[in-house]
Amino acid sequence: MAALNGGATDQVLVEEKSCARILTLNRPKQLNALSAAMVSRLLELFLAYEEDSSVKCILLKGKGRSFCSGGDVAAVAQGDWGAGEEFFRREYIMNYVMATNSKPQISLLNGIVMGGGGGASMHGRFRISTEKSLFAMPETALGLFPDVGASYFLSRLPGYMGEYISLTGVRLDGAEMLACGLSTHFALSEKLLSLEEAIIEADSSDASVISSIISKFSHTPTLKKGSAFHKHRLNVLNKCFSQRTVEDIIEALEREADENKDEWIASALQSMKRASPMSIKISLRSIRQGRLQGVGKCLIQEFRMVCHVIRGKISRDFFEGCRAILLDKDKNPKWKPATLAEFSDEMVESYFLKVNHNEWEDLKLPVRSNTTPFAVSKL
């Protein structure tokens, strides 16, 4: 394995095997949370591989029990907003390059996949979950919102599953990831090494060939009994999460809870009521808007939103959430505004406007060819 060039030592490990490049996220003690150095290195590698005719596919995985637990948001919260903006700028460009990359990306999601880990994998062509997978977009509990292109890939899930995942931060296992479309295949973790070897041996960049190989190691697992993705629960999920506002969604869930003691409904309600009012309101607006936009416009919009969040002029819930959940760990954030009613439509709208600062710039994405076909074909 070749170590990361420069000062980031070995946070991204690289293996060159025939036509394939195997990238391993290597911060196991931090559950492979993405540092600024890792983001820069991944972006550099993906751009280089696209221009290298000897590279036919890219495998991405994590060392230890996590694929990637997200971006290192605690570091962002403790730093200055300028450094934070630069981190998100680079991360979103990386997400865009992954989404529009012509080389097939195969992500082995054998462990924790949260936040930025979703951004590093969901934009790729193949996403393999296992019995060890645990997926979540938990940002509303942190005073943030599902970003890294989540307004694009969550809004493309069937029905209103995207709203459910986005607003509640629900934790999904590997079978549920397959059921809702977050993963393209499910395989037992013990088969992953053989799967890797078969892909390398195939020496192909043809998506249909790679898909056929992965399918030989895959199967459709059984959903756990309490999953919201069972067919008999989807009507209720879609009825509730298709409502126009956050308040309407909560009211619909409460009505269902009165008639139906299903645990997933009670859990969804509890999560939404504990989340930052700012976060769940801007998250709903983001996913609804993202459903009508391409991946590039989604990332540009999310960059505006995240810049407002980390500047803290409208609400400082991001800093309070990081304090309560990641730093002090008292798990008792004091949100301001404290209620949905106090967070007005005008306040929501302000997160979607350009930042009014003479040194601030919108996200500028690199010029890519054939962006739409590559991005759309992956979801």
- Residue 142: closest CA among 245, 76, 73: 73
What type of residue is 172? L
**What does the alpha-carbon distance between residue 146 and residue 287 come to, in Å, rounded to a whole number?**
9
Beta bridge partners, 186, equal 129
- Residue 200: closest CA among 50, 98, 57: 57
3-state secondary structure of 141: helix
Q: Please answer whether residues 160 and 130 qualify as being in contact, where contact means their C-beta atoms are separated by less than 8 angstroms.
A: no
Catalytic residue among 70, 84, 116, 118: 116
Give the burial string for 203-213 (b: 16+ CB within 10 Å, else e).
ebbeeebbbeb
258 among known catalytic residues: no
Catalytic residue among 72, 139, 163, 196: 139
Q: Six-digit token pair at 321? A: 């959430």
71 among known catalytic residues: yes
Catalytic residue among 91, 147, 256, 320: 147
**246-259 vs 231-241: helix axis angle to the nearest 10?**
140
Kind plus residue range of the DSSP H or E element containing 134: strand 134-136
Peptide bond into 373 cis (omega under 30): no
44 among known catalytic residues: no
What type of residue is 158? P
**What does the alpha-carbon distance between residue 3 and residue 217 come to, in Å, rounded to a whole number?**
30
Place of tokens 């990238």: 23
Catalytically active residues are 71, 116, 139, 147
